[in-house]
Structure 1
Amino acid sequence: MSMKLSTVFKMLAVAGVTSFAAASFAGEVEVLHWWTSGGEAKSVAELKKMLQAKGHTWKDFAVAGGGGDNAMTVLKSRVVSGNPPAAAQIKGPAIQEWAAEGGVADITAVAKANNWDKVLPPVVANQMKYKGKYVAAPVNVHRVNWVWINKAALDKVGGKAPANWDEFFKLADKFKAAGIVPVAHGGQDWQDFTTFEAVVLGVGGAKFYNQALVKLDQTALKSPTMLKSLETFKKIHSYTDKGAPGRDWNLATAMVIQGKAGMQIMGDWAKGEFQAAGKKAGADFVCAATPGSANAYTYNVDSFVMFQQKNPANAKAQADLAAAILSPEFQQVFNLNKGSIPVRTDAKMDAFDDCAKQSNKDFLATAKNGGLQPSIAHGMAVSPAAAGAIKDAVSNFWNTDSMTAQQAQQQIAQAALTK
């Protein structure tokens, strides 16, 4: 972060500035998030209902922008001005960065009362803690390496879900010949990055992905495998439409839902859009691991960091929010709407569709075989500074026709050195 938030908190304390929550109505919980699309909004509405049922007031603080970059900019402004929300959607290594600055709430008592250490996978539980204390509550597990395909369009061209990148491009050619946009894409850097990491995972495998995009190993980043990944990545660009620049991810998903596009590379939050449109897995759309990654799983865990509340009533509302997030009831209804799977290891999957059941099965399997990897595109793998620099380099390559894969490789390797 560009400025020490701990210093800001101290300055505000000296100035006698009270927290925003203290000046609010008793039992109010303000929640900053970026869940504004159809399936996402439906999901967050369930959490609102649970808090209202406990007598609390929910103050929605939604900031549009699927990747969350806009929300983080707003959050920094709010914290610097001395009025942080009760909870903010933050994930991955950024949790520890915010906690290190001070001002976050210790919710370990809530975690102990609800046995979080027993019901959460260790890899997830550890990301929710700072110096051994819980400061955030995880909501779900998203699989990022999915490709979504319109079933009617697939049947029309006589294709099948692609198992590798050669099959992917053959299917893309069939869609193109049929007058269907082969790949629905939105021209936002996080969408470019989502596609890029899927290609690296499929071309190089989970072990290479970890070396290159988690450990940021320079040898891996400068390797022939990375060069091949970049060439494959750029080839996908030629199968997108001219309307892609600036398009939101859910509008790209809508193209697949409507049959205007054949497929989209996107995390399983896209499934929430299919469901909101009344579409069913298997009948209306096909979900498959992105080419070459059937035995790997890039994950994205949404979570809420809690900020200190001086008003006791608001602190109680905040604790109830944290407890509600991990309740079995909310975990089921939220993830059924969102397209993700419950973060609880004891969750029952009976009510979920085949895509979610496959996701849950693969999540548990890859956790044992080394195929489970954090998504760099979605803030789970490296520091926000490094991820941001690499993201910029990736999108620069995606959008610059004159740039070679070799030039992009050099830029990405250099960006990975960002601290």
Structure 2
Amino acid sequence: MNSVKLALGLLASVALPSVACATDLEVTHWWTSGGEAAAVAELAKAFDATGNKWVDGAIAGSGDTARPIMVSRITGGDPMAATQFNHGRQAQELVEAGLMRDFTELAAKEGWADIVNPPSLLANCTLDGKIYCVPVNIHSWQWLWLSNKAFADAGVPVPTNWDEFVAAAPALEAKGITPLAMGQQAWQNAGAFNVLMVAVGGRDLFMKVYGDKDEAVAGGAELGPVFKAIDDARKMAANSKVQDWNQATNMVITGQAGGQIMGDWAQGEFQIAGQVAGTDYTCLPGLGMNEIISTGGDAFYFPVLSDPEASAAQEVLASTMMAQATQVAFNLKKGSLPVRGDIDLSTANDCMQKGLEILAAGNVIQGSDELISPDTTTQINDLMSEFFNDPAITVEDAQARFADIIATAE
């Protein structure tokens, strides 16, 4: 029996905390696409197997839509039992206000510090030495997804890097194919910009901008090629009129678009569509330029509840999310990498294998959410949304405005 089969069989035997009676727990998240829903179902199935009940609280739209609703409920005295946030600082104020549960004791009991890889994931859950969340996956933004059909229809080879992709754009357009699929949401525009910063500029440049908050670098010549690349992306995505990220992914799946810059969660959509990595689509980590992946992703926080039975069930859910079997089943459907470093995913597809190899080699970078505040993120999102939607905004103007944001970044 290989390790994956063993892990999948653990759910029936793993010793999870027990509760006296079944308890319903509402869990809020923004995973509503086909691939995401399939992954959430694995979390629900694992928790239901403990004798409790996962009550799904999916909120349609992106995280930008869902997070304010989640925060409002928690601060307004109507908390859910558990809620999704991204790795980083999104829930820091809620933790500081004493509204989130401390799972330090459970983490020590189960040895999370020994199994969570990279350690920064658990560090993101830690404030003043206490652990307040459960990391469930590693989602990397640094991917270019390409439709093999689109390039065959255009009569050009499937690109092996971003420069070749840009060069192939005219051939795609000549066949009525949109070169770059991109949804009309600010976070998608800003996400593409950050991916290009790593792919074109490299890890050190990214960290100077977001880690050091270096205004001179953000406004200087070193970042010039990145803004040239995002201008190319703007032109290539000019005819992409869809709204949501998964609609843009579907353009790639159906051959209506040549490619998409999107995180590895796109794999779930290709999987639901029955497409095979390497045959129907091609994935380029680091856009084929710098094979580096970010260690962003998702974690669940657990608001403080007054009901002791619900509180006990929260601990069961936290333990279940971290269990090997759950990590395997959930991440294979989600397209993300597990947070546990002791899991064999030898049955994963070619793209996930690439991600695992990059992770194992240590070629990783923190996500921007881990380095800058939500307010700074919003400012960059707004700038990139304006840039993509208004061709009159020059590269020079956009870079000057970006440097101003970095100058006051938190």
Same fold (TM over 0.5): yes
Distance in 2 (alpha carbons) for counterparts of 1:223 and 1:418: 17
Alignment of 1:226-305 (within 5 A): 226-244=223-241, 247-291=243-287, 293-305=289-301
Aligned equivalent of 2:190, options 172, 190, 193: 193
- The answer to whether the 8 Å contact 1:265/1:290 transfers is no
1:394-405 map, 5 Å: 394-405=384-395
Higher mean C-alpha displacement, 251-260 vs 225-234: 225-234
Structure 2 counterpart of 1:93: 89
Distance 1:299 1:293, change over 3 A: farther
- Residue 327 of structure 1 corresponds to 323
Q: Contact (CA 8 Å) 1:105, 1:308: kept in 2 or not?
A: yes
Q: Which runs of 5+ in 1 are unaligned?
A: 1-24
Two-structure CA RMSD over aligned residues (Å): 1.7
- 1:375 matched to 2:379? The reply is no
Counterpart residue type for residue 392 of structure 2: S
One-letter amino acid matched to 1:300: G
Give the drift of 1:168.
2.0
Q: 1:390 aligns with which of 342, 362, 380?
A: 380
Query: Between Structure 1 and Structure 2, how many residues are aligned?
Result: 386
C-alpha offsets along residues 375-397 of structure 1, whole Å, 9 cap, x if unaligned?
Answer: 22xx2331111111122112222
Aligned equivalent of 2:141: 144
Aligned residue among 324, 331, 340 for 1:344: 340
1:158 alignment partner in structure 2: 156
Q: Give the corresponding residue for 2:25.
A: 29
Determine the C-alpha separation between the residues in 2 that align with 1:214 and 1:399: 28
The superposition leaves residues 276-299 of structure 1 with CA deviations (integer Å, 9 ceiling, x where unpaired) of 111111111111124354332223
Superposition deviation, residue 349 in structure 1: 1.4
Give the match for residue 179 of structure 2: 182
- Residue deviations 1:216-275 (CA, integer Å, cap 9, x gap): 21111011122331122022111125352x610000001111111111110010010000
Q: Deviations over 1:146-173 (max 9, x none)?
A: 000112223342313332x432211222
- Runs of 4+ with >4 A deviation: none
Amino acid in structure 1 at the alignment position of 2:148: K
Q: Give 1:73 shift.
A: 0.9
SS in 2 for 1:94: coil
Bigger Cα displacement from structure 2, 346-355 vs 287-296:
287-296
- The offset of 1:54, in angstroms, is 1.4
Identity %: 34
Instruction: Name the amino acid aligned to 2:365.
Output: Q
Aligned to 1:127: 124
The letter of the residue matching 1:372 is: V
Note if 1:208 corresponds to 2:205.
yes
Deviates more, 1:404-413 or 1:270-279: 404-413
SS of the counterpart of 2:371? Answer: coil
The alpha-carbon distance between structure 1 residues 292 and 381, as it changes in their structure 2 partners (threshold 3 A), is farther
Q: State the AA in 1 paired with 2:156.
A: G
Structure 2 counterpart of 1:118, which letter? D
Gap change, CA 1:102 and 1:240, over 3 Å in 2: same
User: In the alignment, which residue of structure 1 is the partner of 2:358?
Assistant: 362
Partner-residue secondary structure (3-state), 1:288: strand
Q: Distance in 1 between matches of 2:93 and 2:402?
A: 23
